[in-house]
């Protein structure tokens, strides 16, 4: 029997953004503009396009600007209505969903942030979309649609988006061990996952790419996961625990033309902004001419 559609998502957005200082000294990294939109609005719009109905954003210290951004009751915004099209960009899609907020009072890792969403998900399958990472997927079926379909048609406790990375970059990511070949054409089972392995120990070059679907069993595993590096609860460790206990897990790979933008350091942030700006329907062509 096919599972029910995934209609809930948790967006972890409590990280401090220390690698983007001083830009993140007084604003969340998730609010840094990428093209015309803040990073987190790109993420929310991506979820909306996949028909996710309820979205919970896990915030923390100095993250109030995220809540303010998605609140159209602000008096100043009311005065701007009708003056130009920019407010329409804000209202388009992102505010037509129910948004909830949970505060992660202490920085205890991605696994702990996901665990904060347990009550919100209410024993349903749910998506996790990192709030500082944009996935560009221009062609149909889009990446999140493929992710949801793959999970619905499986018995896996998790379906994870992955992408190939350079051998020297495996030390930055969670790396999966596939049971066979990973291709962009179909979901692939995995037999292990390792958090930031050395180049010699990496089981493949396929890295977790910031989007997941989980069954509720992940919460029980997170509660049993001991703190790892830096005293943080690693989501990868909980996934690995369940795989080693015999629970099935699969991955969906990015296709050619799809792109992950990690707004976690200045290099990747600059590349993301340039790419999105070049795609802008109004200013893209003139910017392209300027850069030549």
Whether 84 shows a pLDDT value over 80: the answer reads no
Containing domain of residue 139, as a range? 8-291
CB 263 within 8 A of CB 173: no
Q: What is the pLDDT of residue 285?
A: 92
Question: Residue 48 domain-assigned?
Answer: yes
Q: Are strands 259-262 and 133-136 parallel, antiparallel or unpaired?
A: antiparallel
Question: Residue 151 domain-assigned?
Answer: yes
Q: What is the pLDDT of residue 17?
A: 83
Question: Residue 2 domain-assigned?
Answer: no
Question: Residue 265 domain-assigned?
Answer: yes
Q: Whole-angstrom Cα distance, residue 26 to residue 273?
A: 20
Question: Residue 3 domain-assigned?
Answer: no
Q: What is the pLDDT of residue 92?
A: 44
pLDDT tier, 91 (very low <50, low <70, confident <90, very high otherwise): very low
Q: What is the CATH number of the domain that holds 226?
A: 3.90.550.10
Q: What is the pLDDT of residue 78?
A: 52
Q: What is the pLDDT of residue 191?
A: 97
Question: Residue 30 domain-assigned?
Answer: yes
Question: pTM (2 decimals)?
Answer: 0.91
Whether 144 shows a pLDDT value over 60: the answer reads yes
- C-alpha distances out from residue 130 to 100, 201, 232, 292, Å: 15, 26, 17, 34
* Mean pLDDT of all residues in 138-164: 95
Q: What is the pLDDT of residue 90?
A: 55
pLDDT tens sequence across 180-206: 999 998 999 999 999 999 999 999 999
Question: Residue 184 domain-assigned?
Answer: yes
Instruction: Please tell me the total count of domains within the chain.
Output: 1
Ramachandran class of 51: left when φ > 0, alpha when ψ lies in -120 to 50, beta otherwise: left
Question: Residue 42 domain-assigned?
Answer: yes
Whether 6 shows a pLDDT value over 50: the answer reads yes
């Amino acid at each position: 029997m096919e599972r029910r559609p995934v209609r809930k998502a948790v967006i972890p957005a409590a990280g401090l953004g220390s690698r983007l200082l001083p830009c993140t000294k007084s604003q969340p990294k998730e609010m840094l503009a990428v093209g015309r939109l803040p990073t987190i609005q790109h993420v929310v719009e991506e979820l909306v396009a996949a028909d996710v109905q309820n979205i919970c954003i896990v915030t923390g210290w100095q993250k109030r600007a995220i809540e303010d951004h998605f609140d159209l009751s602000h008096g100043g915004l009311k005065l701007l209505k009708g003056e130009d099209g920019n407010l329409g960009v804000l209202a388009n899609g992102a505010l037509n969903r129910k948004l909830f907020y949970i505060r992660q009072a202490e920085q205890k890792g991605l696994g702990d942030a996901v665990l904060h969403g347990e009550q919100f998900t209410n024993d349903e399958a749910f998506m996790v979309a990192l709030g500082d990472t944009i996935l560009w997927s221009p062609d149909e079926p889009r990446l999140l649609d493929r992710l949801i379909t793959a999970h619905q048609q499986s018995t896996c406790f998790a379906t994870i988006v992955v992408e190939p990375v350079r051998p020297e970059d495996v030390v930055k990511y969670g790396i999966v061990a596939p049971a066979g070949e990973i291709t962009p054409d179909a979901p692939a089972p995995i037999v292990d996952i390792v958090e930031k392995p050395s180049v010699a120990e990496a089981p493949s070059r396929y890295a977790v790419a910031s989007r997941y679907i989980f069954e509720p069993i992940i919460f029980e595993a997170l509660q049993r996961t001991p703190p790892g590096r830096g005293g943080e609860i690693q989501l990868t460790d909980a996934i690995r625990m369940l795989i080693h206990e015999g629970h099935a897990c699969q991955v969906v790979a990015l296709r050619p033309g799809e792109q992950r933008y990690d707004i976690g350091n200045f290099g990747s942030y600059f590349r993301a902004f340039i790419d999105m700006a070049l795609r802008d329907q109004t200013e893209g062509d003139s910017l392209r001419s300027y850069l030549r």
